[in-house]
């Protein structure tokens, strides 16, 4: 085997953000061996990584982060120097349907990874790092004013955000109790290619294309702060290499949008691309029952990351959104593959029967 300077386990690398992180690390750091550990749940898709699957410094291992024996065996085999942990159940609406799945993966899975990492690293922590990728949702919901900073107290409201908040607490507990070298980042809403079409932007793109109703929760007034997924991957790269051990970094797009405005923007972009009359797609907008406990507004203050490590977003939202729409229109095979079978069952439960 080649002599790599580091062997890094990236968990959840077959998912949306994970696949962009794996691609960036495999291409940018040929001196690192990147091992993608993923259970390939409904959200995991190896087709997301077709372009790097034969790279000499890339390996894939199927496995569940809650499976102690499997993770131990992988640590024995690869002798990881670092873990970048993205594997999670990630969709708020699914967490409302099946909260315990989120406790199992996000809480127990993270604690299992921490426990096993420590058992292999504890005699020599030099050069080791456990990087935990988390969300701004741990901070709860903002009113019309203000931003989440790294000091904002945790106040999660959904089973998803509560499970992520819990996992963040476990990561910091391992730092304080065992001196485990950890870093934590909390990011705002991502968008871009390979985004599973249960989330707002890819779901709307798909429904506009197929002339299906566009289900806007409540009044569409909720605000999210959107970041292009490749910018998140770059932020993870920066923090992994330059962040302070024990540190916590907020990552955000400085880019707040009301849901209804995004849906209108997407309708306009797609009217043009599909040769529809202006305003035609917007006729599909349908206001539906609100998400229970729907957080009103998220907005990240990413000043620390910018000032200390020099990171900033690279793309304007309109440009990123157009790139995203183009990707979906050009990758209809990908969309068809992920929207068959189980997706239809989920869609019916979430949008038709309720």
Question: Cβ closer to ligand DAU: 66 or 188?
Answer: 188
**What is the C-alpha R_g of the chain?**
20
Reply yes or no on whether 217 is catalytic.
Answer: no
Binding partner of residue 117 among ligand NAD, ligand DAU, none, CB under 5 to 8 Å per kind? none
Tell me which residues touch ligand NAD (CB under 6 A). 11-12, 14-18, 38-41, 43-44, 64-66, 86-90, 105, 109, 133, 135, 164, 187, 189-190, 196
Binding segment (CB under 6 A) for ligand DAU, from list 43-51, 84-92, 167-175, 317-325: 84-92
Cα separations (Å) of 58 from 38, 47, 52, 193, 194?
13, 15, 7, 21, 19
- The four Cα atoms 195, 196, 200, 203 give a dihedral, to 10 degrees, of 110
Q: In this structure, how many other beta carbons lie within 10 angstroms of the beta carbon of residue 206? A: 16
Q: Which listed option, ligand DAU, ligand NAD, none, makes contact with residue 224 (CB within 5 to 8 Å by class)?
A: ligand DAU
Residues 38, 81, 89, 136: which is the catalytic one?
136
Two structure tokens written together for 50: 């077709």
Give the three-state DSSP class for 31. coil
Record the tokens describing residue 291, joined without a space: 């998400």
- Which token pair is 212? 């299906």
The reply on whether position 57 binds ligand DAU by CB under 6 A is no
Q: Is 137 a catalytic residue?
A: yes
- DSSP character for 244? P
- Partner in contact with 12, chosen from ligand DAU, ligand NAD, none, beta carbon below 5 to 8 Å by kind: ligand NAD
Among 9, 142, 165, 203, binds ligand DAU (CB under 6 A): 203
**Whether the Cβ atoms of residue 266 and residue 332 lie closer than 8 Å to each other:** no
DSSP single-letter state for residue 292: T
Residue 67 is a catalytic residue: no
**307: Cα within 13 Å, side-chain hemisphere:** 6
Q: Which of 89, 137, 150, 256 is catalytic?
A: 137
The CA distance from 237 to 232, in Å, is: 9
131-160 footprint of ligand DAU as x/- string (CB under 6 A): ----xxx-----------------------
Binders of ligand DAU in range 210-239 (CB under 6 A) = 215-217, 222, 224
CB of 278 to ligand NAD, least distance (A): 30
State the residues that interact with ligand DAU by CB under 6 A.
90-92, 135-137, 188-189, 199-200, 203, 215-217, 222, 224, 259, 291, 298
Q: Please give the positions annotated as active site.
A: 136-137, 160
């Amino acid at each position: 085997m080649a002599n790599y300077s580091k062997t890094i386990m990236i968990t959840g690398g077959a998912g949306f953000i994970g696949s962009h992180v794996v691609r960036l690390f495999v291409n940018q750091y040929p001196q690192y061996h990147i091992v993608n550990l993923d259970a390939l749940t409904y959200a995991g898709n190896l087709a997301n990584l077709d372009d790097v699957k034969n790279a000499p410094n890339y390996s894939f291992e199927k496995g569940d982060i809650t499976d102690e024996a499997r993770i131990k065996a992988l640590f024995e085999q690869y002798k990881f120097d670092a873990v970048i942990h993205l594997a999670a159940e990630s969709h708020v609406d699914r967490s409302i349907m099946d909260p315990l799945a989120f406790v199992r993966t996000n809480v127990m899975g993270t604690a299992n990874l921490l426990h096993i990492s420590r058992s292999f690293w504890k005699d020599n922590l030099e050069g080791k790092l456990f990087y935990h990728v988390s969300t701004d949702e741990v901070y709860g919901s903002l009113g019309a004013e203000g931003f989440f900073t790294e000091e904002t107290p945790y106040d999660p409201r959904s089973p998803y955000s509560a499970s992520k908040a819990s996992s963040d607490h476990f990561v910091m507990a391992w730092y304080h109790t065992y001196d485990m070298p950890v870093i934590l980042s909390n990011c705002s809403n991502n968008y871009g290619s390979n985004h599973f079409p249960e989330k707002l932007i890819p779901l709307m793109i798909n429904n506009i294309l197929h002339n299906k109703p566009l289900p806007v929760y409540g009044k569409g007034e909720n605000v999210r702060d959107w970041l292009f997924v490749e910018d998140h991957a770059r932020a993870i790269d920066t923090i992994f290499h330059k962040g302070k051990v024990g540190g916590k970094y907020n990552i955000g797009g400085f880019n707040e949008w009301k849901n209804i405005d995004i849906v209108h923007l997407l309708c306009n972009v797609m009217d043009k691309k599909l040769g529809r009359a202006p305003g035609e797609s917007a006729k599909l907008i349908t206001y539906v029952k609100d998400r229970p406990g729907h957080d009103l507004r998220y907005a990240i203050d990413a000043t620390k990351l910018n000032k200390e490590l020099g990171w900033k977003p690279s793309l304007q939202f309109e440009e990123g959104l157009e790139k995203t729409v183009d990707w979906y229109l050009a990758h209809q095979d990908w969309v068809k593959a992920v929207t068959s079978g189980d997706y239809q069952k989920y869609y019916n439960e979430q949008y038709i029967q309720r």
